[in-house]
Structure 1
Amino acid sequence: MKTRPGREAATDQEGTTSWLPLVVVVLTQIQASFAVNALTVSMQGITSDLDTPATTVGTAITAGTFAMAAFILLGAQLGAKFGSMRILRIALVIHGAAMAGVALSVSPVMLFAAQALSGAVIALIAPALVVVIAANFSGQQQARAIGYLAAAIPAAGVLALLLAGSFASTIGWRYSFALVVALAVVNFLLALRLAPVAPQTGMTIDWTGAGLAAATVILLSFGFSGLNSWGVVIATPSAPFSVLGLSPALVLIVLGAVFGQSFFAWLRKRKAEGAPQLFDLEVLKSASERATTVCMACMLFVGTAANFLIPLYIQVVQGRTGFQTSIAIIPYTISIFIASTAVAGLYTRFPPRTIARAAFVVVAAALILLAFTIRNDWSQFLVVVGLVTLGLGQGAIVALVFNTLLSAAPKRLAGDVGAWRGLVHNISGSIGIAVASVFAVTALSALVNANLVDNETIPPSLKAQVDLDEVNFITNDQLEDVLGATDATEAQVAEAVRINEESRLRALNLSLLGLAGIALLAVVPAGRLPSWLPGDIPPTVTAGSPGTEPAAAQA
């Protein structure tokens, strides 16, 4: 049998090694993910303790996320040059110190700096974790290890909801980050027992490529994040600046796209010259690998957007507290964890493209079910079923596409695969939240204005007292406070509340249906994934043929 040139053939034999490397990988991923989730859950305590608005905490979270996304490709290069295990150990120490800085923060500036450092260090950790898996596991062991790595993220979310939520309401929010420091110490001691990964000491880091990548990520992230508040096309009054009246969000997105094209052009130029590259395009060489990336981006876009809309539904439509929201979404989070770990059992029975197609259909069906069943009663059985089903499909896809991409690449590119996964995860997530927010708010504004046309209860004089150009998701109490500053009567307030309730619920319905449509469209690129079972080598493989990369080959 022949394999595609430059690829390592899969074998029918599967090595069995100690699971200690996986323990380190999973605990380290929990350490990184728990820290971010704990910051979100602890928002109320931080704002009161540091005497700062909630937006400061949001800025700190954003700073960490952007720092990680901007430098993750560089992180993979540093791991390759100096040894991924050495980089991982150093990163664990620095991340622990950053979390100590969060726990001991006495000002918003200190919190911001510590979280930004945390994000930059995670850019070193994420690629190293993938290299550890590739260096220690193969075959089904590797598939299960990837599933556990993917499952560690929702597991950390559940732990943060329970532990950080409890700490924030009892002994104090700082203890959550003290716990992360303790976990960093444990992970560092365990990492000392792992075998080193040989460094590529002769490699040269592509600093120009690193600069282009960082600029691309930062421009796109800030651009998409500002769509809702700065305007999609025309700049709003809250925009920090405008270019000929255009929204700075649009300008930043266009610049980000230009820098992104420049980044890939630079990589192709360096490859043609035989010079070192920041990111090896061989990871995306075939149609199958590019389709796998598209599937990953689609699922992370849909999943992150749903994670934004679901809390919006619980807190705004139902009026529940943040902690009640955390408890309510635990079944959804647990279902992601279960699917991420269990999907490896399907690899020996179904080809990747079949699993991916079925999972996207499951995700779409779950979103459609939610769109037609959500009301004001969270305990409704079908809503819970829809959330659990969504989590199962989402967890299966994320673990599957990551395994497919890693297994298709040579072992030397494991760090690049890990960095690419982290980059796609953060950019797709940022875009998912931004687009879902813009779509939902736009739908809400259109529905509210449609309900006000020819409304006999609410006269034009009352409409003139309310800024209908700034419609957003607000609770009934907030709406009543706004109308309290007008001359609205009780009947008019009641009518406005009715319109608000119906419009925001319908806007969320439409948003969920839109996400379902994206999930169904993703079935098309899912058909480009490998069409044969893991461990098999295609009988005839030609270079450049779509769908010919091993889905569980030894990396």
Structure 2
Amino acid sequence: MIVIVLAQIMMIFNVSTLQVSMDAIAGSLSTAATTLGTAIVTYALVVAALILPGARVAQLIGSRRVFRASVGLFGIAMIVMAASFDETMMIVAQVLAGMGAAMLVPTLVVLVADNYQGHQQAKALGWLGAAPAMGIVLAFLLAGTLTGWVGWRAMFGLLALLALALLKFSDKLSAARRPSHVDIDWVGAGLAGVGVVLISLGTSNLASWGTLLARPDAPFAILDISPAPLMVVIGVFLLQAFISWSRRRRSQGADSLVALEVVAGTAERAALLSIFIVSALASAITFLIPLYIQVVQGRGSFETALSVIPFSVASFIAAITVVRLKSYLSPAHIGRYSFLLVTVGLALLGATIRNDWSHSMVIFGMAVAGFGEGALVTLLFNVLVTSSPRELAADVGSVRGVTNNLATAVGTAMATALLIGLLDRSVHFELVHNSSLPDEVTAQVDLDSIAFVSNSRLERALADTSATSEEIAEAVRINTDARLLALKATFFALAGCALLAFFPAGALPGYIRDPAKHGAANIKDEPHSTASSPA
């Protein structure tokens, strides 16, 4: 299990190191900090495009062989990253890392299914689900420390050594028997891959390119329409075409890229929907909190790492302990209670967040939301894995991976759109009703692209205008108030989204598992005892 968890953490470290060492890497490679964002997006898109065929590759040549190949490829990517001397080499490294991760994500689920059964499997899935939360905290702290003391290349060098160690200890993993025949559906792979990439790109750029009409930052426009919503629509269309194509292949007796049986039942679809919702909410939280720390408080990367600890630690604790509750509560009940915890945590953040992150209620709100999120991660993962035969574990892993990837893009985009939209409305309202700022001053500021910026950056921008010191001070006050209001309203909106997931979570299985029977289902006093009857 240590080998499997460390492989999951290795992937988390790569992206987290890019995030926490952004300024240092940009300076060393003589490139803009935004190029690091391009590298992260490139990695995510490669994973999104290749994760579904990656599951079939695991079945084709065996999970242990794929584990070794993907870890080896990831290790090579880390060596290339550590030796990078320009932005092109960095992008190549992230493409290689994305290819390795796309095969590794579903393979880890297969390895858990092959090496563990019953209650041990549930615990193993809990550790695998908790690994990202633990990895984020460790990555931010370790990468931040190494970047300051030794340099950012040292962290990627350590990841290459970790990959080498995982290769050495991979002999401990049991190799499952491969199916007699595996056919990779390349047409389905193309439809799904392009569809997922378009949805991810479109949702990630809704705020900057425009939610409907094209903004100045949009790369192109079609009849003044932003490309972002068009990408989302085309992406959804391609995913629907992929599902239709897969059903057609199955009806003809051919293999589909993904076994649709893993989401055939009501409980499985409820689990997948819940995974999407909680992953989107988690990505929104982990986007907003660092933004709040860096922009509102002007803190550095190390303080930013500390700020996410309450959420991540609570998520980790819940992920590895929620398995014990399955002997007393049904997945439907645990899912509903967990979504309520996320709702309460987000509402607390919206009600208590101020200009001081260390406020006890803010920390408590993050911990409550993190506990609910961590419980859901393990619970929903368990529902999907235990509802499908062992031979479909790769399909479960790939479907979960694609869902997480899409949810991350949607959650970040949703948080950004809410934040910028509320900030824009608040600033314009203040300017209309505020006589302290004359029209000649506001005319010198670009109000068509309101951004979430720090007070110091705003002061520097206004210093080049005709604004007096009093007018600059008033503009800073407006920015401070509008920024905080937008943050609070965004957290309340996210709390509402979490609450709306309460009833869909009732469609999760209504049974309680008897630990004495090692995972066999028992129906015990459940008013909604069938998975197909949402409560």
TM-score (norm 2): 0.96
> 2:195 touches 2:236 (CA, 8 Å); kept in 1?
yes
Asked if 1:472 is matched to 2:472, the reply is no
Corresponding residue number in structure 1 for 2:125? 146
What amino acid is the match of 2:255? P
Q: Secondary structure at the match of 2:303?
A: helix
Does 2:499 correspond to 1:520? yes
**In the alignment, does 2:178 pair up with 1:204?**
no
Contact 1:37–1:160 under 8 Å retained in 2: yes
Q: Are residue 237 (structure 1) and residue 216 (structure 2) matched? A: yes
User: CA RMSD, aligned part only?
Assistant: 1.4
Aligned twin of 2:48: 69
Q: Does the aligned pair in 2 maintain the 1:288–1:546 contact within 8 Å?
A: no
| Cα distance in 2, alignment partners of residues 131 and 333 from structure 1 | 26
Q: How many residues align?
A: 524
Q: Which residue of 2 aligns with 1:19?
A: none
Asked whether the equivalents of residues 96 and 185 of structure 1 are also in contact (C-alpha less than 8 Å), the reply is: yes
1:92 counterpart = 2:71? yes
1:34·1:156 contact (CA, 8 Å) conserved in 2? Answer: yes
1:421: Cα distance to partner?
Answer: 0.9
Partner of 1:373: 352
Equivalent of 1:423, from 375, 381, 402?
402
Which deviations, in whole Å up to 9, do the C-alpha atoms of 1:469-511 show, x marking residues without a partner? 1111000011111111111111111111111000010001111
Q: 2:434 aligns with which of 430, 455, 458?
A: 455
Q: State the partner residue of 1:35.
A: 14
| Aligned counterpart for 2:372 among listed residues 393, 407, 422 | 393
Matched, 1:334 2:335: no
Match in the other structure for 1:537: 521
Q: In structure 2, what is the Cα distance between the partners aligned to 1:548 and 1:239?
A: 44
The CA distance in 1 between the partners of 2:509 and 2:237, in whole Å, is 32
Q: Which runs of 5 or more residues in structure 1 are unaligned?
A: 1-21, 550-555
Moved over 6 A (4+): none
Q: For 1:439-454, list aligned pairs within 5 A.
A: 439-454=418-433
8 Å Cα contact 1:363/1:389 also seen in 2: yes
The equivalent of 1:279 in structure 2 is 258
Cross-structure match for 1:14 = none
2:140 maps to 1:187: no
CA distance in 2, matches of 1:244, 1:524: 41
Q: Which has the higher contact order (CA 8 A, sep 6+)?
A: 1
Cα distance, 1:538 vs structure 2: 5.6
Instruction: Tell me, in whole angstroms, the C-alpha distance in 1 between the residues paired with 2:11 and 2:165.
Output: 14
1:273 is displaced (CA, Å) by 1.1
Cα pair distance change 1:26/1:539, threshold 3 Å: closer
Following the alignment from structure 1 to structure 2, what is the Cα–Cα distance between the partners of residues 39 and 70?
Answer: 21
**Which position in structure 1 is the counterpart of 2:531?**
547
Task: Tell me what 2:93 maps to.
Answer: 114
Q: In the alignment, is the contact (CA less than 8 A) between 2:295 and 2:454 conserved in 1?
A: yes
Paired residue type of 2:159: V
For the residues of structure 1 that align with 2:159 and 2:521, how far apart are their CA atoms?
Answer: 43
Aligned to 1:123: 102
Does the Cα contact within 8 Å between 2:141 and 2:302 map onto a contact in 1?
no
Question: Is this contact kept in 1: 2:67–2:104, CA < 8 A?
Answer: yes
What are structure 2's unaligned runs of at least 5 residues?
514-518
In the alignment, which residue of structure 2 is the partner of 1:5?
none
Structure-1 separation of matches of 2:313 and 2:159: 21
Q: Distance in 1 between matches of 2:299 and 2:138?
A: 20
- The AA in structure 2 aligned to 1:160 is A
Measured after TM superposition, the shift of residue 392 of structure 1 is 0.6
Q: Which residue of 2 aligns with 1:321?
A: 300
- Most deviating of 515-524 and 152-161: 152-161
1:158 deviation in Å? Answer: 1.3
Q: Distance in 1 between matches of 2:259 and 2:213?
A: 38
Q: Give the counterpart of 1:173 among 149, 152, 162.
A: 152
**In structure 2, what residue type is equivalent to 1:324?**
E
Match of 2:226 in 1: 247
Displacement of 1:194 after TM fit?
2.2
User: C-alpha distance in 2, partners of 1:387/1:193?
Assistant: 38
Q: Equivalent of 2:288, from 309, 314, 322?
A: 309
Q: Which amino acid aligns with 2:37?
A: G
SS at match of 2:521: coil
| Counterpart AA for 1:172 | G
The equivalent residue for 1:3 is none
**C-alpha distance in 1, partners of 2:404/2:338?**
18
Matched, 1:266 2:245: yes
Offset, 1:328: 2.1
**What is the correspondence of 1:8-47 to structure 2 with a 5 Å cutoff?**
22-47=1-26
In 1, distance between residues paired with 2:459 and 2:80?
A: 41
Q: Secondary structure at the match of 2:403?
A: helix
Q: What letter corresponds to residue 537 of structure 1 in structure 2?
A: A
- The normalised TM-score by structure 1 is 0.93
> For residue 8 of structure 1, what is the aligned residue in structure 2?
none
- Asked if the contact 1:336–1:392 (Cα under 8 Å) also holds between the matched residues in 2, the reply is yes
